[in-house]
Amino acid sequence: MDVKVDFDRCEANGVCVGLAPDVFDLNDDDELIVTHPVPEGSEDVVREAVAQCPRAALAEA
C-alpha cells in the first residue's frame, strides 16, 4: 500500500500524524512526510487517516 498526497490541498493539520505517527510526520516547515511504502500491518490505520483528512488531501495509491 502507498499513500498519495495532494500538497495543494494539504494544510498540515496533523490529523493523519495523530492517527498514524509511524507513517505520517510534519517537518520543521509544516510539510507532510509520508513513509513509503506503508509498513505492513499499518494499512487499516492509514485508511482511517485518509478518510479523516479534513482537506481530503490523502488518497490510497
- Measured CA to CA, the distance from residue 46 to residue 3 in angstroms comes to 8
Q: How confident is the model at residue 60 (pLDDT cuts 50, 70, 90)?
A: very high
Quick one: cell of 24?
A: 505520517
Q: Which residue has the cell 510526520?
A: 25
Q: Are 47 and 60 in contact (CB under 8 A)?
A: yes
Give residue-wise pLDDT tens across range 8-57. Answer: 999 999 999 999 999 999 999 999 999 889 999 999 999 999 999 999 99
Residues 16 and 31: beta-carbon distance below 8 Å: no
What domains lie within the chain, and their CATH numbers? 3-60 (3.30.70.20)
The residue ranking higher by pLDDT, 59 or 61, is 59
Judge whether 57 and 5 are in contact, CB under 8 Å.
yes
Q: How far apart are CA 36 and CA 3, in angstroms?
A: 8
